[in-house]
């Protein structure tokens, strides 16, 4: 890993961080911003997640900063959109609290590991969880004005909610792998100040 800060992949990751509050403003704006526009901005931000990683690997620009910031940018983007959608009563708040809580715990474990010199990259299950969350968010955004996109199924559950429940299951399973990291950190001697 290199230590460069101003790499193109890092700048793309940072742009995703700045897009998160813009998406919230577009979602909850009293001026009636078209939800298709909001979903398009969200999709663009989500696509940068794929792009920054691809560029970093292709041009050998994988950095410690990028490895740490990429999951943070994903979490900010997803959390911001889910909290805004929950405030609009488009998604159950309990599901959002569980997803956000898991991500905060995982971020805390990552920070503790980083303080001890270990960088933990996002695992595949976490990436699948994020992909499910992002797909559900797009469906939810579009369905605000176009309900046929996310219809209630036979049991009355919308596809977006099924995706979020799948993401929650992956969140729990992938989060369990961080417990072993937390136990290793807890057993290790304290860092000297």
Section 28-32 average pLDDT: 79
109-140 pLDDT, tens per residue?
A: 888 887 777 777 777 888 899 899 999 999 99
Q: Tell whether 3 is covered by a domain.
A: no
pTM of the full structure: 0.84
> Can you give the residue range of the structural domain that contains 126?
8-187
CA dist 72 → 45, 68, 77, 111, 193 (Å): 13, 7, 9, 11, 26
- Three-state secondary structure call for residue 2: strand
- Annotate 111-172 with DSSP letters as a single string: HHHHHTT---PPPHHHHHHHHHHHHHHHHHHHHTT-GGGS---TTS--HHHHHHHHHHHHHH
Separation between Cα atoms, residue 125 and residue 128, nearest integer Å: 5
CA dist 135 → 27, 38, 89, 108 (Å): 16, 14, 18, 26
Say which residues have a Cβ less than 8 Å from residue 78's Cβ, sequence separation at least 6: 99, 103, 130, 133, 134, 137
CATH number at 139 reads 1.20.120.1760
How many domains would you assign to the chain? Answer: 1
> Looking at residue 190, what is its pLDDT?
58
Answer whether residue 28 shows pLDDT above 50: yes
67-112 pLDDT, tens per residue?
A: 778 888 988 999 999 999 999 999 999 999 999 999 888 888 888 8
Residue 82: phi and psi, rounded to 5, are: -65, -40
47-67 pLDDT, tens per residue?
A: 998 899 899 889 999 888 887
Task: Tell me which of 11-20, 91-100, 119-128, 156-165 is least confident.
Answer: 119-128
Consecutive H or E run containing 94: helix 93-115
């Amino acid at each position: 890993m290199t230590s460069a800060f101003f790499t193109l992949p890092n700048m793309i990751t940072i742009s995703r961080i700045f897009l998160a509050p813009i998406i919230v403003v577009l979602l909850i704006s009293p001026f009636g911003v078209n939800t298709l526009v909001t979903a398009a901005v969200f999709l663009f931000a989500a696509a940068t997640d794929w792009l920054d990683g691809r560029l970093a690997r292709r041009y050998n620009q994988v950095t410690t900063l990028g490895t740490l910031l990429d999951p943070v940018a994903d979490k900010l983007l997803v959390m911001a959109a889910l909290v805004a959608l929950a405030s609009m009563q488009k998604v159950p708040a309990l599901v959002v609290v569980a997803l956000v809580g898991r991500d905060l715990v995982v971020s805390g474990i990552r920070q503790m590991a980083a303080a001890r010199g270990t960088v933990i990259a996002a695992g595949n299950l976490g990436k699948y969880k994020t992909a499910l969350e992002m797909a559900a968010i797009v469906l939810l955004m579009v369905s605000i004005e176009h309900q046929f996109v996310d219809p209630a199924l036979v049991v009355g559950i919308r596809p977006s909610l099924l995706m979020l429940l799948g993401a929650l299951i992956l969140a729990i399973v992938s989060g369990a792998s961080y417990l072993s990291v937390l136990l290793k950190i807890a057993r290790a001697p304290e860092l000297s100040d």
